[in-house]
Homo-oligomer: A and B are copies of this chain.
Amino acid sequence: MANDEVILLGFWASVFGIRPRIALEEKEVKYEYREEELVGYVKSPLLLQMNPIHKKIPVLIHNGKPICESFIGVEYIDEVWKDKAPLLPSDPYDRAQARFWADYIDKKLYDPAKKMHTTKGDELEAAKKELIEVLKVLEGVLGDETYFGGDNFGYLDIALIGFYGWFLTYETYGNFSIEAECPKIVAWGKRCMQRDTVAKTLPDQQKVLEFAKLVRQMIGLE
């Protein structure tokens, strides 16, 4: 598949957009990354054409054909480029578990995480409590393993790592230390950052905080 054309439409601060991007990096697939300017809510004609249903990034475009939704993109990448860096476990039960916890992240972590910079007062406090609870559950899933994928960086690591880029933002607006609450998750995030595939794609936490400040101003919270 040396002549494949692979394009990824993403947004640098998105916890979803990073997933297929890191999957492509892990597989060492050559791809063109195109940044969507989502802050001003101007969506490119290509995004609207390739994902007319949800009109959202990430969209993976492989030889002209779109694959939408982050986890579907990661599974597709794992299936097409299967000879290198397997992302999902090979055992069906382990695969089901990885999918379960990835789904849990989207269902339970995303909402409180988003509220950390888009709400204030009691709503923010409730979100913070929920965020910590969910991170503690995930810390229990990680246990004493190097990665969620055990010795190998995999699907569930990819599912969660985008949130690590936002940790400083959560801490700043929640006025707390994630490391004090979930030391193993923070250590895991640092280990992930030692991988080139993550280090060169995950946004700097300070830059994310600046972005979050901008969003707060736009929605009238600051």
A residues at B contact (CB < 8 Å): 53, 62, 65, 67-69, 72-73, 75-76, 79-80, 92-93, 95-96, 99-100, 103-104, 137
Contact = CB atoms under 8 A, between A and B. Distances in A.
A77 to B, nearest CB: 9
A53 B104 contact: yes
7 contacts: A69-B100, A72-B96, A72-B99, A72-B103, A75-B95, A75-B99, A76-B93
B103 A69 contact: yes
A69 B106 CA distance: 13
Q: Closest 9 CB pairs between A and B?
A: A79-B92, A76-B96, A67-B96, A72-B99, A80-B92, A72-B96, A76-B92, A72-B100, A68-B100
Q: Which of A53, A92, A95, A96 has the most chain B CB atoms inside 10 A of its CB? A: A96
Contacts of A69: 99-100, 103
A137 B54 CA distance: 13
Nearest to A67: B96
